[in-house]
Structure 1
């Protein structure tokens, strides 16, 4: 007797021994039947899905749960003009006189033509400080009141970023290197002191909101790629309160300039952190460079629109290799941000050096984003067993026109987000959202992978890098499982695997790519438990803590 049977459906198993089926059954949280509908055993509960597609649950290999959306801030998503940005911020300021700081999220770099935004662009909205993050979280935009409140106008440094100054030595209101600096111990402490949006209480609410969205989207495993050691307790709290509706793999952030003692602290933190079937700590997040839009990613050649400038690596050349080698020796898997072709090469060099020095095998280090890739570095991903954790939505013209495209230059557009080429080379490519830089919904990412187009379909580019629906689903399931050493029990529907499943609202294989954006995850199952059921229009998040980790006390979670 099965616990649950999904039948009269189209099951894409990604099991090479049985690629397709009509039914899948679950017992005790694991797959107990895969086959045709007529031979399926009886079940306590049966769902007939009328030919809709069932796949393994989505594994989002780079999803910033901690960023989320803040209900006390305004989103600038879709705001394409300075006037619209000002209107949205003014509306929040007028509606919320109780806020000491007026905060906004998701600004695009190209909001002002031909230059970066500055403090003067925010004049006249409110006398209160204004704090705006860019869509990629790597830059911050401040008004004059915020510059004064933070002491930047008086020449004070801030621990969570690098303020820019004009030729006269005056701050422009633009701050770079935000996310890398803000997640250090000193940076996070100062940020939480200065900016209310980053208080532990509001950060915890973001985690819960992001998890709710993940479960609704068919995501059964989320990789949170940048957790400061000081915030391990937030995930412990979510575990103990039964709020982890999806599995979470949490990568701990390693500031590139940390002393060797910090790596021992990381080892102790991971060994002491809460671990359960729903929560795992262990990967380490590093940065090889920053991002291309503000010209801070490391390029092998000059930026097209800034001769003589190639950005910069996050650490002196050679330092990243030392760090990755030591982390590899300590048993850590690394997850390294690299966007420029120079940054990607630095990360590959570091991983190769670690493997040669330590003689390690199958560590499965990852490089995140891989936005610009020199052709000579292609074979190194497969040779070194490196996962390329990539985001198809980032390659959409509506996100990168006017900034990324212009900065890199048309002569290098053929190096951009080479998903298909990497897959064809034999490399492992794990697809992801990079929420909230991109939309969390994997159907948006799949659409982007199949079209390399804007969401309205009006703009397309680099069409030679589009992939098929089957390749995209494979990247979101099998490759995600492989990346995190979980291929034997996640990302596949076969006997004995964990029952992480998503049922979609249609047979996605029968749809035109543009129709994917109209679909949804109808049923999300984690470990055999229905955690989202769109048909009944509800989502369950009251999973008892004892079912997540029956041997762990939930007291003392705030101490981490």
Structure 2
């Protein structure tokens, strides 16, 4: 068992009120000593890591991400950085010409602000790929843009009704425009498209976890796992191709969830049988609603720019109550996508009903995203023991906010968005995530945004909705101990104490010691998962 001692930098235990340590000793993947006790082991350590003045602390964790989706973005046309519709179309044309063997052209994820109202026309893609289906996912993963060949392949025409939990955007004459919103509509096209081979999907997942490790992450909640993708995770784990820990959240769907319960349990047993802790399957995911930008988030009051529309709830309250209680009875943790204030109230009501039916236990239900919370519901998070998962990178005044979100919400409702500070002040357990690949997987930009509520160019000057800003310690906690609490792992990782897993991140500077405007410039120099280096920007090891 190799004894490794980290020294020569600022070592933070991640425990509030604890002074920095001068050294940290690790053996067999576990922390064995901190501070003077670790310094005393330096002379007999087989490996000494000189931090060269850098910062070492608990590694980051992601409370809500989609690693497989993130990895698969590299398999199609590269459209994420395209700055216009014309650039997207040109990239699709280039990719299609380079891959004549592909039956479908599938890519992600385009910027929905590039077309008015986020509505994209099939004709724009038809002009460059008229003979093969094209399916492009928007950055929100709640919307797709397709060409006419894809519409035909999916059997979508003017006579096709909107499916449950989905919308087909139409022209004035009723024909489909080429933009589909929410899962009920998306699956019409996705079910017609051929999938990737098992090996390509495993490689994509391996690449995704390597990418996450390079940003300082050692654990992620994979927040949307279809049962047809389970073999990817199982085989990747068997082959030793995971570079971070992953916890799977199986998708529960309205009208179908009852038939899936036995499979959820069976797959959990298969994952447990693998042994080790890199893969777990303890969670079930619910989509309570969609997103504000496409008018599919469920709101208590109508949208300002659509006075007859309160959004698109995915569940009826009674069925959601039944499903939440059922998965809870099987020992699963509920993880609920809830963006609009109507969906958040529905989810809280469902959690409360679960407690009434199943009795008290430490269940830690998670509500994710939480864009607009009605003030009356804020106290309920602490009362019900709900973990509030935020994606802090969204809490800023960018093009999406100004062009799509605020026009739909109007005021004063727009000023209720992402109340991170308010929930922390009330003692709510808050965790941070990325929703990658919807937005950037790196915790450092999210850390900076949570503290400043500003864009990367430091706008607005005082921060957007500055009352909801939090300090650096609170933001670090949300990315470490906060996610560990969400994962029922607070005794295992999320802080640096003797006996805990040596899950570590090395940063170029101490986040607590740099000006807040420089937080976004922090670099990840190294990541360790249970003492094993999974990323190295520098190799400062001596001996």
Fold in common (TM above 0.5): yes
Task: State the partner residue of 2:170.
Answer: 165
Where in structure 2 are the equivalents of 1:216-255 lying within 5 Å?
Answer: 216-255=214-253
Where in structure 2 are the equivalents of 1:304-319 lying within 5 Å?
Answer: 304-319=304-319
Please say if 1:505 is aligned against 2:508: yes
Q: Deviations over 1:479-515 (max 9, x none)?
A: 1001111101110100100111111122222223343
Distance in 2 (alpha carbons) for counterparts of 1:99 and 1:266 = 33
Deviation at 1:147, TM superposition (A): 1.6
Please say if 1:151 is aligned against 2:150: no
Deviation at 1:330, TM superposition (A): 2.0
Task: State the partner residue of 1:131.
Answer: 135
Task: State the partner residue of 2:13.
Answer: 13
Deviation at 1:156, TM superposition (A): 5.8
| CA distance 1:115–1:527, shift in 2 (3 Å) | closer
Match of 1:112 among 109, 115, 128: 115
Deviation at 1:115, TM superposition (A): 5.8
Distance in 2 (alpha carbons) for counterparts of 1:532 and 1:351 = 39
After superposing the two structures, state which structure 1 stretch, 506-515 or 56-65, moved more.
506-515
Match of 1:62 among 64, 67, 80: 64
Distance in 2 (alpha carbons) for counterparts of 1:54 and 1:96 = 45
Where in structure 2 are the equivalents of 1:289-368 lying within 5 Å?
Answer: 289-368=289-368
Deviation at 1:537, TM superposition (A): 11
Distance in 1 (alpha carbons) for counterparts of 2:69 and 2:237 = 18
Deviation at 1:428, TM superposition (A): 0.7
Where in structure 2 are the equivalents of 1:438-457 lying within 5 Å?
Answer: 438-457=439-458
Task: State the partner residue of 2:54.
Answer: 52
Deviation at 1:457, TM superposition (A): 2.5
Distance in 1 (alpha carbons) for counterparts of 2:164 and 2:233 = 24
Please say if 1:176 is aligned against 2:181: yes
| CA distance 1:388–1:507, shift in 2 (3 Å) | same
Q: Deviations over 1:296-318 (max 9, x none)?
A: 11001111111111012111232
3-state SS, counterpart of residue 497 of structure 2: coil
Q: Deviations over 1:445-504 (max 9, x none)?
A: 111112222223344521221211211110000010011111011101001001111111
Q: Deviations over 1:70-104 (max 9, x none)?
A: 33312332434323322332332344333333333
Does the CA contact (< 8 Å) of 1:304 and 1:409 recur in 2?
yes
Task: State the partner residue of 2:206.
Answer: 208
Task: State the partner residue of 1:549.
Answer: none
Does the CA contact (< 8 Å) of 2:158 and 2:176 recur in 1?
no
3-state SS, counterpart of residue 108 of structure 2: strand
3-state SS, counterpart of residue 421 of structure 1: helix
Distance in 2 (alpha carbons) for counterparts of 1:202 and 1:166 = 37
Please say if 1:286 is aligned against 2:286: yes
3-state SS, counterpart of residue 361 of structure 2: coil
After superposing the two structures, state which structure 1 stretch, 311-320 or 293-302, moved more.
311-320
Where in structure 2 are the equivalents of 1:420-431 lying within 5 Å?
Answer: 420-431=421-432
Does the CA contact (< 8 Å) of 1:153 and 1:171 recur in 2?
yes
Task: State the partner residue of 2:469.
Answer: 466
Distance in 1 (alpha carbons) for counterparts of 2:307 and 2:160 = 31
Distance in 2 (alpha carbons) for counterparts of 1:480 and 1:213 = 19
Number of residue pairs aligned between Structure 1 and Structure 2: 531
3-state SS, counterpart of residue 255 of structure 2: coil
After superposing the two structures, state which structure 1 stretch, 355-364 or 75-84, moved more.
75-84
Deviation at 1:159, TM superposition (A): 10
| CA distance 1:481–1:145, shift in 2 (3 Å) | same
Deviation at 1:154, TM superposition (A): 7.2
Q: Deviations over 1:325-374 (max 9, x none)?
A: 12222221100110001001111110011012211221001001111111
| CA distance 1:275–1:311, shift in 2 (3 Å) | farther
Distance in 1 (alpha carbons) for counterparts of 2:209 and 2:505 = 16
Does the CA contact (< 8 Å) of 2:23 and 2:39 recur in 1?
no
Distance in 1 (alpha carbons) for counterparts of 2:282 and 2:483 = 16
Distance in 1 (alpha carbons) for counterparts of 2:373 and 2:100 = 47
Distance in 2 (alpha carbons) for counterparts of 1:454 and 1:98 = 42
3-state SS, counterpart of residue 90 of structure 2: helix
Does the CA contact (< 8 Å) of 1:192 and 1:199 recur in 2?
no
3-state SS, counterpart of residue 295 of structure 2: coil
Distance in 1 (alpha carbons) for counterparts of 2:178 and 2:477 = 43
Deviation at 1:155, TM superposition (A): 4.5
TM-score normalised over the length of structure 1: 0.89
Q: Deviations over 1:211-261 (max 9, x none)?
A: 010111110111111112222221111111111111111111111222524
Task: State the partner residue of 2:260.
Answer: 262
Q: Deviations over 1:387-443 (max 9, x none)?
A: 011101122322432111211113112211111111111101100111101111111
3-state SS, counterpart of residue 10 of structure 1: strand
Distance in 1 (alpha carbons) for counterparts of 2:128 and 2:219 = 41
Does the CA contact (< 8 Å) of 2:24 and 2:39 recur in 1?
no
| CA distance 1:391–1:214, shift in 2 (3 Å) | same
TM-score normalised over the length of structure 2: 0.92
Task: State the partner residue of 1:194.
Answer: 193
